[in-house]
Chains A and B, each alone.
Chain A
Amino acid sequence: MEAIESIQMTGENRSAWTVRAPAGQTVTLETETVDVVEGEQIGWRSVEGSQIETSGKVSFTDAPEGRGTVVSAEIGYVPPAGDLGRLVAKLFAAEPNIQARHELKRFKMLMETGEIATGSYYRDQKDNK
Chain B
Amino acid sequence: MRALTWHGTNDVRVDTHPDPEIINPRDTIIKITSTAICGSDLHLYDGVIPGMKSGDILGHEFMGEVVETGPKSTLKKGQRVVVPFTISCGQCFFCQHQQFSACDNSNPVEKQDASEMLYGHAMSGIFGYSHLTGGYAGGQAEYVRVPFSDVGPIVIPDHLTDDQVLFLSDILPTGWMAADNAEIQPGDTVAVWGAGPVGLFAVQSAVLMGAAQVICIDHHPHRLELAQKFGAKIINFEETHVREALMEMTGGIGPDAVIDAVGMEAHGFTPDNVIDVVKQKIAPGADRGHALRQAILAVRKGGRVSVPGVYGGMLDKWPLGAMMEKGITIKTGQTHVQKYIKDLLRRIEEGEIDTTFLISHHLSLEDAPTGYKNFHDKQNEWTKVVLRPDMAKGA
Query: What chain A residues lie within 8 Å of B148 (beta carbons)?
Result: 113
Is A108 engaged at the interface, CB distance under 8 Å to the other chain?
A: yes
**A102-B110, A112-B105 in contact; A118/B91 too (CB < 8 A)?**
no
Query: What chain B residues lie within 8 Å of A122 (beta carbons)?
Result: 18-21, 23, 145
Contact B24 A116 (CB under 8 A): yes
Is A86 engaged at the interface, CB distance under 8 Å to the other chain?
A: no
Is B25 engaged at the interface, CB distance under 8 Å to the other chain?
A: yes
Is A68 engaged at the interface, CB distance under 8 Å to the other chain?
A: yes
Complex interface: stretch among B133-141, B169-177, B244-252, B261-269:
B133-141
Query: What chain B residues lie within 8 Å of A105 (beta carbons)?
Result: 109, 112
- From 93 to 110 in chain A, residues with beta carbon under 8 angstroms from any chain B beta carbon are 98, 102, 105-106, 108-109
- From 133 to 190 in chain B, residues with beta carbon under 8 angstroms from any chain A beta carbon are 134-137, 144-145, 147-148
B280 to chain A, nearest CB (A): 27
Chain A interface helix/strand/loop/mixed: loop
Contact A108 B105 (CB under 8 A): yes
Contact B25 A115 (CB under 8 A): yes
Number of cross-chain contacts by CB at 8 Å: 78
Contact B72 A114 (CB under 8 A): yes
- From 185 to 232 in chain B, residues with beta carbon under 8 angstroms from any chain A beta carbon are none
- Which of these, A67, A112, A115, A128, contacts B26 with CB under 8 Å? A115
Query: What chain B residues lie within 8 Å of A121 (beta carbons)?
Result: 18, 20-21, 23, 57, 136-137, 144-145
Report how many residues on chain A are interfacial, defined by Cβ distance under 8 Å: 24
- Which of these, A114, A115, A116, A127, contacts B55 with CB under 8 Å? A127
Report how many residues on chain B are interfacial, defined by Cβ distance under 8 Å: 36
Q: How far is the CA of A118 from the CA of B148 in the complex (A)?
A: 11
**A98-B113, A105-B109, A109-B105 in contact; A118/B24 too (CB < 8 A)?**
yes
Is B301 engaged at the interface, CB distance under 8 Å to the other chain?
A: no
Contact B109 A113 (CB under 8 A): no
Q: How far is the CA of A98 from the CA of B20 in the complex (A)?
A: 30
- From 62 to 102 in chain A, residues with beta carbon under 8 angstroms from any chain B beta carbon are 67-68, 98, 102
- Which of these, A67, A98, A115, A123, contacts B93 with CB under 8 Å? A67
**A112-B92, A113-B26, A114-B25 in contact; A119/B109 too (CB < 8 A)?**
no
Rank and list the top 8 A-B pairs by shortest CB-CB distance, nearest first. Answer: A119-B135, A115-B24, A121-B137, A121-B20, A119-B134, A121-B145, A113-B89, A105-B109
12 new A-B contacts at CB < 8 Å, known A113-B148, A119-B111: A67-B93, A109-B105, A109-B109, A114-B72, A115-B25, A116-B109, A117-B108, A118-B24, A118-B108, A121-B20, A121-B136, A122-B19
Can you list 6 pairs linking A and B with CB atoms under 8 Å apart?
A102-B109, A114-B25, A115-B72, A119-B134, A119-B136, A121-B136
